[in-house]
Structure 1
Amino acid sequence: MAMISTGDGDDLLDFSNRLETEDQEMSMDRAPDLDNLQDGEIIERYRFDRNGIDFLVALLGQSIQPKALRNKALSTKQKVLITLRYLATGPIQLNDADIHGVSQPTVSRVLSQVIAALSSPELIRRYIRLPRRIEECRRNAEHIRGIARFPSVIGAIDGTHINIVAPHVQEEIYVNRKGQHSVNVQVVFDGSYNIMDVVCRWPGSVHDSRILRESGLFHLFENGHMPQGFHLLGDSGYPAKW
């Protein structure tokens, strides 16, 4: 690996700012204008509608907004759009860069910044949480009963495989039953598709039942820390316990 030196820390910062400024000036002319897209076209490209995008912009504004505008820094909305387009359409950063009028290194930096902000403990605690009070459980159960007529169910549980690039270490344990490299992610969601719990640390070869058995969720139910009489709904890969 070669390293290019541009001098001291201030010189390196100026060099980085110049590169980003070039990208930002391009983006002023070439960034997609959502006003020219129909609602369905926006969802197709970004997997969020206008309101969803505006919500993310407001939510992340303080954490990813530029510290200064003297270099025509990318706005929070531009960063959100770059990230959503990449997550929605595939793993080629250069395509995302061309669409939004920036360079591939800028896309990489933006992805790291936005995903880190979305993964902050504060946001996780605010939006991903199990109902722990009996009143919350009753509301969830009534909602799901109204949808599918299942009694006393507060959420559904399932595993989903997120494909990854084959790792260099223990590559074989990430191969799932379809022969692809993945991470097996356990998700629990309510009747409104709100995520209530997520476990995303197991390789693709691990069975759903083992992920549940070794999760904090399992111990909450097993040790009586959840209100009694309520259940999670899963497929045949899960034991009939609660």
Structure 2
Amino acid sequence: MDTDFSQSTGPGNLDIMVVMGQVHAVECQFWARETSTDWWDCIVLQVWDDSQWLRNFRLYKGTSIELCDLLSPALKHKNTKMRAALTVHKRVVIALWKLATPDSYRSVGNQFGVGKSTVGAAVIQVANAVTELLLSRVVTLGNVQVIVDGFAAMGFPNCGGAIDGTYIPILAPDHQGSKYTNQKGYFSMVLQALVDHKGRFTNISVGWPGKVHDARIFRNSGLFQQLQQGTFFPDQKITDADVEMPIVILGDPAYPLLPWLMKPYTSSLDSSQELFNYRLSKCRMVVECAFGRLKACWHSLLTRLDLSETNIPIVITACCALHNICEN
């Protein structure tokens, strides 16, 4: 006998059909598709050694656990009636894998046995946690004398850092594509960074559209205000040829020449100016190398970040903090 379910008039009819065997009751269960986590549970956690962890997650296993402990206050979730929460460790390494590789959200989800939306959520959650809890601890000036001594050994006296900007490719924001198109012709957001003698970030500014000039970004940054007021570095001057020289930073020709910002000589040069440019360039290349290592480590910064305009600066900032953790 055919049964027309559209004719049911209330829950009473459904109860009767369950008893008659025409409809089968379904037990409540976690709201999740059947996925395999064997690779994570049995291979990564049990078999991989430190070299494999470093190659794939950019951190040693022990360091990743320490990172999880630091981020746990912001990432610890509870199980619900609908689904079991991912562990903090698994959420962190999912984010690290996605940031370190050009893999798609679907591909990363298949690797770890989660949905692609879970991967996207993990990236933003971890990036937010790193920015809120670790940024001020790892992206910091540190020991100024060690930095000055480091640059002096490279040939430039009383130098506290090298500054530059780099383009981070992004998808074109809605109705704003023109202002994000940089001079190289692609959509981007600018990362401005000051680095020490070892290429660790000591100050960053993220979020300006790619069309904006480096000098404008610099003049509107908090770093510029601190340097102008003399509060970023200690008041530590040296005297050379009867000229007092404060701690300076080094920039390329795009930056303005200031008492505390040195840039190369241009036009025809004599031998002393050529030597000055050589030493400045040698020390300034530290920031270019830092950008290279940042993008080589976190490959997502080499591809177009498919995130909202609000989340892109958070992810870039988190990658800078993770860069310093890796460098240390």
What is the TM-score when the length of structure 1 is the normalising length? 0.78
2:30 is paired with a residue whose SS is helix
Over residues 185-226 of structure 1, what are the superposed CA-to-partner deviations in whole Å (9 max), with x where a residue is unaligned? Answer: 101122343322111121011121111111111121122223
Unaligned runs of 5+ in 2: 1-28, 236-245, 261-328
Q: Which amino acid aligns with 1:63?
A: A
**Are residues 53 and 191 of structure 1, via their aligned partners in 2, closer, same or farther at CA, if it must alter by over 3 Å?**
farther
Note if contact 1:174-1:182 (Cα within 8 Å) is conserved in structure 2. yes
1:169-184 aligned within 5 A: 169-184=175-190
Q: Which residue of the partner structure matches residue 93 of structure 2?
A: 81
Larger RCO (alpha carbons 8 Å, 6+ apart): 2
2:183 is paired with a residue whose SS is coil
Q: Which residue of the partner structure matches residue 75 of structure 2?
A: 64
2:200 is aligned with 1:194:
yes
2: distance between equivalents of 1:53 and 1:180? 34
2: distance between equivalents of 1:38 and 1:164? 34
2: distance between equivalents of 1:204 and 1:217? 19
- Identity fraction in percent: 31
**Are residues 234 and 38 of structure 1, via their aligned partners in 2, closer, same or farther at CA, if it must alter by over 3 Å?**
farther
Candidates 76, 91, 116, aligned match of 1:104? 116
2: distance between equivalents of 1:106 and 1:209? 39
Query: Aligned Cα RMSD in Å?
Result: 2.6
Larger radius of gyration: 2
2: distance between equivalents of 1:42 and 1:181? 33
Q: Which residue of the partner structure matches residue 162 of structure 1?
A: 168
Q: Offset at 1:108? A: 1.8
Q: Which residue of the partner structure matches residue 11 of structure 1?
A: none
Note if contact 2:159-2:248 (Cα within 8 Å) is conserved in structure 1. yes
Note if contact 2:30-2:84 (Cα within 8 Å) is conserved in structure 1. no
1:1-150 aligned within 5 A: 18-19=30-31, 22=33, 26-27=36-37, 29-31=38-40, 33=44, 36-37=47-48, 39-68=50-79, 72-90=84-102, 92-120=104-132, 122-130=133-141, 136-146=143-153, 148-150=154-156
Note if contact 1:34-1:42 (Cα within 8 Å) is conserved in structure 2. no
**Are residues 225 and 88 of structure 1, via their aligned partners in 2, closer, same or farther at CA, if it must alter by over 3 Å?**
same
Matched residues, number: 217
Q: Which residue of the partner structure matches residue 20 of structure 2?
A: none
1:36 is paired with a residue whose SS is coil
Q: Which amino acid aligns with 1:222?
A: Q
Q: Which residue of the partner structure matches residue 238 of structure 1?
A: 255
